[in-house]
Amino acid sequence: MPDYKLKIRRFNPESGEPAYWSEYDVEVESERSVLKGILTARDDQDGSIGIRCSCQAAICGSCAIRINGKTALACNTAIGEAQAKAGPGNPIVVEPMNNMPVIKDLIVDMDAVHWKKVQRVIPWLLPEGAPPEREYIVPAESMIDITQSMACIQCGACVGACLALEADPEFVGPAALAKAYRFVGDPRDGQEKERLTDLAEDPHGMYDCTHCFACVEVCPKDVAPMNQIMRLRRRATNDFEIKDRNNGYGHEKAFVNLIEKYGTLHEAQLLPRSFGDGSLLKGQTEPGAVKELIESLPTAIRGLKSGKVSPRKALWHHKLPGQENVKRIFEEIESKDERLELNLYIVEEEPGEEQGAMAEGSQES
C-alpha cells in the first residue's frame, strides 16, 4: 500500500495555544478516502485528532473539511487523487472549513452558522388548509425537481466555500437558500409568495449571491445551490413581480434585449435600460437609473478622456453582421412553452444506446 503524508491543522481550545500543524504518515490504498487516511492516523498514532464522521458513504454529511484548500467531504475524496492535487512530495493539507468557527481540530461550529441560517428560511412545509384525505396530487416532475434540493445532506461544504458569505457573514447563504427552494418549488406549500418576498426584502437574502459558482463546484450531492438561488429569483420576478434589490433582473433583461437587437452589447444603453425599457436618448429613463447614471459619470468622463469611448461610439451602435441568425436563436428559445431550467439532477441520456452489458437480449426492466 502506498504511503501518504497528511498535514492536519490542529486546534485545541483547552490549551490556550493557537492552531498548529501535525503531520502523519499513513499507509492507505490509493482509492480509499482521505477520511480513511485521517482515521488510520487517529486509530494507530494519535487518538486525539478531532473530526466528525459517520457513514463514510457521502450520505450523513458529517465530514466536510478543506483538502488542499478545497472544501469537500473527506469520505468521498480519494486519497490518491488528493495526493495528485497536492503534487508529488508534498503533504496532503487538511484543514477545517471556512466561514464557521473552529471548535476543535477539523470540527467547526455548524450550529452557530449553518443551522442558524437554515432556521432563518422557515424550514418546514406550510401547506394551505387541511391536508387532503389521501396524498396531495402533484406533478411527478415537480417532485423530481425539488428532490434535487432534497438531496442536500446539510454538510455545509457550500457554506464553507461561499465567497459572498466571506464578505457578508449575514448572507443567508447557499445551503439555506437551496432549502428555501425545496419549499418554494413544492406545489404543496402555500406560502410561495411570502417566502420569496421575505428572502427578496432581506438585504442579506437571495440577491446577495454573486454567482461565483463556488457552491456548485464543492457540493458533493449535485444540489447546485446557486441554481436553486437563481430559480428563487426567477420565480420572484417572473411569477410575482417582486422587486429585485440589485435590479439584477432588469440588468439581465436589458442585456438580453440589446443582444437581440444588435447582436453585440450596446454598453451605453445597458445601464439606463436596466432600470426600464426606455431609450436614454428619448428621455424614457426610470428614476432609479438617474442616480446610477450620475454615479457612473466619472467613469464615462475617464473613458472619453482616454479615448476609449467616443460620443459617436457611445450613441451609435452597429449591428452585428448576420444579426438575423441571432434573432433566430431568440425565436427558437422563446417559442418554447415552458421555462427552461438548468437541472443538473437529471442527466439527459442520448436515446438508443446499447443496454445490458452482460445480458444478451435481455431488455426487461
Minimum CB separation from another protein for residue 25, in Å? Answer: 17
Minimum CB separation from another protein for residue 197, in Å? Answer: 21
Whole-Å CA distances, 30 to 73, 151, 294: 16, 28, 59
Minimum CB separation from another protein for residue 58, in Å? Answer: 7
Q: Is 126 helix (H, G, I), strand (E, B) or coil?
A: coil
Give backbone dihedrals phi and psi of 9, rounded to 5 degrees, phi first.
Answer: -80, 120
Minimum CB separation from another protein for residue 33, in Å? Answer: 8
H runs (alpha helix) in 263-296: 267-274, 287-295
Minimum CB separation from another protein for residue 93, in Å? Answer: 21
Contact 301, 286 (CB under 8 A): no
| Closest CB to another protein among residues 118, 242 | 118
| Closest CB to another protein among residues 72, 289 | 72
| Closest CB to another protein among residues 45, 310 | 45
Determine how β-strand 64-67 pairs with β-strand 102-104: unpaired
| Closest CB to another protein among residues 12, 264 | 12
Minimum CB separation from another protein for residue 168, in Å? Answer: 24
Instruction: Measure CA 118 to chain center.
Output: 15
Exposure string of 167-193, with b = 16+ CB inside 10 Å and e = fewer, is eeeebbbbbbbbbbbbbbbbebbebbe
Report the chain's terminal Cα–Cα distance, integer Å.
41
| Closest CB to another protein among residues 32, 266 | 32
Minimum CB separation from another protein for residue 166, in Å? Answer: 24
| Closest CB to another protein among residues 148, 247 | 148
Burial grade of 85 (CB within 10 A; 0-12, 13-18, 19 or more): middle
| Closest CB to another protein among residues 184, 242 | 184
| C-alpha span between 25 and 283 (Å, rounded) | 71
Minimum CB separation from another protein for residue 209, in Å? Answer: 23
| Closest CB to another protein among residues 22, 323 | 22
- Collect all residues with Cβ–Cβ distance below 8 Å to 54 and sequence separation of at least 6: 60, 62, 63
| C-alpha span between 237 and 6 (Å, rounded) | 48
| Closest CB to another protein among residues 148, 285 | 148
Minimum CB separation from another protein for residue 137, in Å? Answer: 4
Query: Any idea what DSSP says for residue 132?
Result: P
H runs (alpha helix) in 263-322: 267-274, 287-295, 297-306, 311-315
Q: Is 359 helix (H, G, I), strand (E, B) or coil?
A: coil
The torsion defined by the Cα of 22, 158, 110 and 209, in degrees rounded to 10, comes to: 130
Minimum CB separation from another protein for residue 70, in Å? Answer: 16
| Closest CB to another protein among residues 132, 203 | 132
